[in-house]
Structure 1
Amino acid sequence: MKKHVFASAALLLPLFGGLVGCTQPGQDEVQYIKVSMASCSFRGVDAEPLRIEVSTSPAAWNAEPSATWIRIVEKTDNALLLTVDDNMSAAERTGEVTITAGQAEQSIKIIQVTDHTLQSTYNTTGEFTMGAVISPNARYVGGYTCIYDTEAGNWVNQVVIIDIRNDKKYMLDPFPDTLYPLYDPCAITDSGNVFFHCEDGKIVMFSLSGDVTVLDNIPGAGKPWLSQVASDESGVWVGFCLGGETLYSPVKWTDGVPEILQKPETTYRGYGWYQGCMARGCSLDGTVIYGTAWEGLDSGLMWWDAEGNVRWVGDELHKIKPVQIFDQQTQTYYDTNLVDGIKGNSTPYSISPSGQWIAGTYQTEELSENKTEIIYTACPAFYDTDNDQTYTFPEYSGAACLGATDDGIGIIGMDGAGGIVSSTVLIDIATGVQISESTDWIYENMGIIIPDYSLLEYISPDGQVAFGYDLNGTGGEMMRKWYVAPKPQN
C-alpha cells in the first residue's frame, strides 16, 4: 500500500505556464524544463519517496529544496526522488523544489499535511482493460485485465475487485477469453458483485468468491444489457434489452426479476418509436430511474418515478417545432421536427443518490436563415425531480452536466456537449455560483492534490469518495479511472 499522498502529475505545456523555457541571445536552442508533477503532497508521517520525471534543455540540471524538511533522496539524468521528514506539528506546511537548467527555472510546490488531518489516498486503475466501475456507496471498484498468452495462443482475462475501505485487492482466477469474452465493466454492487458486457452480447456477473452468473434473456425480448445497480437493500438493477416492442427496451430488475419499463408516448422528436430507449442509472434506493432515447442521433433524457410513470426530464422545456428544410440537392423542401429539450448520455452517474437531481444538457435547435441547416446551442441543465424544476446555465455554453450530490452540488463537464470533456467544475445548483474546479474541491475537502487533468464523474453519498477518469494515463490510455478515498484502515 502506498503511504504518500499522490501528487499532481500534469504535463507542463508551452504557453500555459507549465513548460518553462527561454532562448539565450545569439543561440537558436530553446532552453526549457518539463516536470511530470507541478505540485505534490505528502502525508504527515511515514511518507514514502515520490518520483518526479524531469526533462530539460540543456541536459544538465540542478534541484534545490527551499526547506530542510524537504529531502532529495536521489537525482538521475531524468528524474528526482523526493521525500519529507515527519511533520509532528498541528499545521500543514509548504515549500518548493526549484529546478534550474541553463537560464530556465521551474518550481515544484511541496505540501505536507499534518498527521492530525484526515488523510485520503489517490489510486488509478491504469492496469485495467476498458476502465473500471465503482459501487453505489463507494465500497468497491471493479474491472479486469487482459493479457496475451503466447504459449496458449489466446487472451487471458482476470477479474479484479478492490475493497476501497482496506485497499484489499481480489484477483479472481484467470480464464481464456474464449470462455467469457469480456468487453467492459458495467456495474458493481456494494457487496462486490461486478458485471461485464461481453463481446458476444452476454452480461456476466462475478462475485468476490469467483462464482459466475450469466444473466438470463428477458422474457418476450432478448439479450439483457446492464447499466447500473442500486443499493444491495433495494435489489434493483437497471439497463435495457434487445427486443420487445422496439429494437431496445428499458428494463428494471428487482431481486433478479426483470420488468420492461414503459416508454414516453412518442419519441423525443414527436414521432412513433422504432429503435427505442434505454435505462442508464438509478437512485440509491432504486425508486427513481433515468434513461435516454436512441432514435437516430437523439438521446432525449427521460425518467421514471417510483410508480413507473415516465416523463421527459425537464418536460416544461421540451418543445417540438415543425419546420420545412430546403434540400439543396433535390431543390425541394421536406418536413421535419426541430426540438428544444434536455439530452443525456450513457453514463450511470447522472443522478444524485436520493434521485432528486438528474444531470443533462439543454439543447435548442433553430433553422438557419436560408433554411438549409440546423443551428444547435447547448448548455448544462439540472432537473429537480422533487420540485419539478429545471435549472439551465447558458453562461456555460457548450458544457454538459455530469452528476450531482443530494445537497445540490452539480458537476459540469466543460466542452462536454461536444463529446470530450476538457475539465470539470462544481457549482451550487440553486444559486448558479461556481464553487471551484473539481481538483481544487477535492483538495479542500479531502486534503489531497490530484492531477489537473483528472475529470470528476461521481461523489459518493457520504461525500468521502470521488471517482472519475483522466485522458493522460500511461501510454495515453483513454480509459484510466481514478478514485480518491479515506486512508484505508488496516
Structure 2
Amino acid sequence: MKKGMYCKSVLPLLLLVAATGCTQPTEEVHYIKVDMIACSFQGTDAVPVRITISSNPGPWSAEPSASWIRITEQTEEGIVLTADDNPASTEREGEITVTAGEMTKTIRVTQTGDTFVPARYDVFRDYTMGAVISPNGRYTAGFIGVPDENATDHWLLQVVITDLESGEQYLPAPFLDSLYPLYDPCAITDSGTAFFHCEDGRIIGFSISGDITVLDNVPGAGKPWLSQVASDESGVWVGWCSGGSTVYSPVKWTDGHPEILPLPETTFRGAAWNAGAMARGCSLDGSIIYGTAWEGLDSGLIWWDKEGTPRWVGDKVRKLKPVKIYDTATGTYTDYTLVDGIVGSSDTYYISPSGKWIAGTYRTEELAENETDVIYTSCPAFYDTETDEVHIFPEYEGAVGMTVTDEGLGVIGMGGANGIISHTVMVNIPTATEAGTSTEWIYDTYGIIIPDNSLLEYISPDGRTAFGYDLSGEMEPMRKWYVTRKTAE
C-alpha cells in the first residue's frame, strides 16, 4: 500500500539501444538530484541546513520563494540554507526552486511560529504514516516522499529524525522504496536510531550517524515486529514475532538478543492458546512490559513483572462468566464465556516511565435478552503494578485510558471505545478528580495554546515534552504534533 504525498530527487537513467551491425549513441539523460526533499526550521535561532545538488546539464541555480529563506552559501556542490526569525505565532511555508536548463525541482521549506513563550508547538504535516517519539522525549522520527519521476510504480523516501532539544534535523539521503519499502515508524531510541516497519515485513533502523540496521528473524518465532524501545541504558526493545508455538509470540530483546516471553496459563476467556499475544510497550528501564492478547477479537491487556511472570492487567477485576448463546441459524445453544476485564490496543504509550501505572479500558460483557447478542460497556481504567489496585472511572463511559505519568496523571480518550476519540481529558488517578482537557492542561503546563482537536498520547518522563496527534490532516488523517519547552527548567 502506498501512502501520502512525496517529494523526491531524480535518479539518472542510461538507455542503451542496440542495432544490427552498429551501436547507437547513448541518449543523454537530464536530471536534477538533491539529497534533501524537504526541510524545516524552528521559529528562532534556526540551525543552518546543507543541501547537496547536482544536475545534467549544468550549471544549476537555486532561488528562494520568500525573503525569510536565505541561502548563506552556494558552491558547485550545493547550498546552505537558514531562516530569519519568525515574528508571527503561526507557521510559514516557502520553497527553494532549483533550475537546470528547462528542468526545475522544488525543495519545501517550513518554519514554526514563535509566540515568545517558553515552549514551541509543531505539526508533522509532511510525514507519511505519522511519527514516533523517543522514551526520553528528545527525538522524533518519520519519513516523507514523492512519486519517483523515472518510475511511476516507485516512490522516493526520506527519513527525518529531529532533535527536539536543539531543533536540528538528521536527513539520510533519499532512497527508492524498492530498497526499503517503509510502511510506518515504530520506535526511536533515546540516541536517535529510528526503526520503521516495511511493507515486505522487515524492520529497518536508521541512526543519526547514518548507520542502517535490519532486525534479524528470531529463532523459533520467525519474522520480528518492533513495538517500542526502553532507555538506551537498559538496551531493551519489545515487540512480537509471527511464529513459534502460537501464531504470535511476544518478544523482548536485550542488547539485541531476543527472548520469547511466556503467556498466561489460559487466554483472556480461559481457553487454550492458539493465536497468542504481542508485547506493545515497556517501562523506561525495560523491567516491566505490557502487551495484548490476540485471540479472535479479544485484546486482554497482559503485563510481565520484573521477574518476567505474565499476568492479566487488573486480574482482580477480571471475571469469567460462562453462558449459553442461542444460534439463530441452527436453533441451538453454544457454550460461551463472557469476560469482565481490562483490555487494550496496539498503543505503545500505555505505561508510565517507572512502570508503576498501566492505562487501559475496563470492559464488561452481558448477554442480551435475545440470548444471541452481547452488550459491551467500557470505561477508562488505570492499574497500579506496585499495589495491585485498579482505578476505574465509570463516569467516563465509552472512553479509554491512553497514557499515564508516574505521579498518576492519566489521559483519557473520550469516545475511544467506539474507535474514534473526540478529545482527551486529564484525571488525577489517586484522587479520582478531573484536571481539565489536555489542551487546557498544556496551556497551564507549557503556557502555549494549541488546537482543541489535538489529542494527547504521551508525556516525557521529565515533563518537558508532550506528544500526540490531531485529525486535521488532508492526506494523512492522523497528523502527529509535539509541544516542548524551549529551555530545560
Instruction: Return closer, same or farther for 1:381/1:174 CA change in 2, 3 Å cut-off.
Output: same
Q: Does 1:409 align with 2:449?
A: no
* Structure-2 separation of matches of 1:472 and 1:199: 26
Q: Give, in whole Å, the separation in 1 of the partners of 2:174 and 2:418.
A: 39
> Which residue among 84, 87, 91 is the counterpart of 1:48?
87
* 1:148 match: 147
Give secondary structure in 1 for the equivalent of 2:227.
strand
Q: Aligned partners of 1:130 and 1:159: how far apart in 2? A: 12
TM-score, normalised via structure 2 length: 0.77
> Could you say if the C-alpha distance between residues 2 and 161 of structure 1 is closer, same or farther in structure 2, counting changes exceeding 3 Å?
closer
Write the distance in 1 (CA, Å) between the matches of 2:328 and 2:415. Answer: 31
Regions of 4+ moved over 6 Å: none
Aligned pairs for 1:20-419 (under 5 A) are 48-50=87-89, 119-153=118-152, 154-419=154-419
Contact kept? 2:137, 2:460, Cα under 8 Å: yes
2:445 maps to a residue whose letter is: N
Once residues 49 and 315 of structure 1 are traced to their aligned partners in structure 2, the CA distance between those partners, rounded to angstroms, is 52
Partner of 1:486: 485
Deviation at 1:152, TM superposition (A): 3.8
Tell me the residue number matched to 2:19.
none
Whether the 8 Å CA contact 1:454–1:469 is kept in 2: the answer is yes
Counterpart of 1:49, as a letter, is A
Distance 1:326 1:454 in 2: 44
Deviation (angstroms), 1:327? 1.1
Counterpart Cα distance in 2 of 1:435 and 1:443? 12
SS of equivalent residue, structure 1 residue 472:
coil
Q: Tell whether the 8 Å contact from 1:131 to 1:184 is kept in structure 2 after alignment.
A: yes
Letter in 2 for 1:487: K
Q: Which amino acid aligns with 1:130?
A: M
In the alignment, the residues of structure 1 paired with residue 208 and residue 86 of structure 2 have an alpha-carbon distance, to the nearest angstrom, of 32
Distance in 1 between the 2:278 and 2:220 partners?
Answer: 17
Give the TM-score normalised by the residue count of structure 1. Answer: 0.77
Q: Report the Cα distance in structure 2 between the residues aligned to 1:440 and 1:488, rounded to whole angstroms.
A: 21
CA 269–217 in structure 1, closer or farther in 2 if over 3 Å, else same: same
The letter of the residue matching 2:249 is S
User: What do the CA deviations read for 1:218-243 (whole angstroms, capped 9, x no partner)?
Assistant: 01120000000000000000000011
1:59-115 residue CA offsets vs partner (Å, 9 max, x unmatched): xxxxxxxxxxxxxxxxxxxxxxxx99xxxxxxxxxxxxxxxxxxxxxxxxxxx76xx
SS at match of 2:297: coil
Indicate the residue corresponding to 2:428 in structure 1.
Answer: 428
> Contact 2:118/2:487 (CA < 8 Å) preserved in 1?
no
Are the aligned partners of 1:2 and 1:48 in contact in 2 as well (CA < 8 Å)?
A: no
1:167/1:488 contact within 8 Å kept = no
Distance 1:194 1:51, change over 3 A: closer
- Deviations, residues 321-349 of structure 1 (Å, cap 9, x unaligned): 11001111211111111000000110110
Match of 1:357, as an amino acid?
A: W
The superposition leaves residues 456-476 of structure 1 with CA deviations (integer Å, 9 ceiling, x where unpaired) of 000000111000000012x26
Q: Give me the whole-angstrom Cα distance separating, in 1, the residues matched to 2:301 and 2:90.
A: 45
Measured in 1, the distance between the counterparts of 2:199 and 2:143 equals 14
| Alpha-carbon spacing, 1:251–1:146, altered in 2? closer, same or farther (3 Å) | same
Q: Which amino acid aligns with 1:3?
A: G
Q: CA deviation at 1:47?
A: 6.0
Structure 1 CA distance for aligned equivalents of residues 91 and 192 of structure 2 = 35
2 CA distance for matches of 1:488 and 1:383? Answer: 33
The letter for the 2-side match of 1:237 is W
CA drift of 1:488 comes to: 6.2
Q: How many residues align?
A: 387
Q: Which amino acid aligns with 2:446?
A: M
CA distance in 2 between counterparts of 1:427 and 1:172 reads 41
- Give, in angstroms, the shift of residue 168 of structure 1: 0.5
Matching of residue 447 in structure 1 with residue 447 in structure 2: yes
- CA 388–50 in structure 1, closer or farther in 2 if over 3 Å, else same: closer
Give the Cα separation in 1 of the matches to 2:163 and 2:185: 16
Q: Per-residue CA shift, 1:359-412, capped at 9, x if unaligned? A: 000000011122121111100000000110000010000000000000110000
Q: Secondary structure at the match of 1:440?
A: helix
CA-CA distance at 1:151 after TM superposition? 2.2
Q: In structure 2, do the counterparts of structure 1 residues 127 and 315 end up closer, same or farther at CA, with 3 Å as the change threshold?
A: same
Name the CA distance, whole Å, in 1 between partners of 2:220 and 2:340. Answer: 34
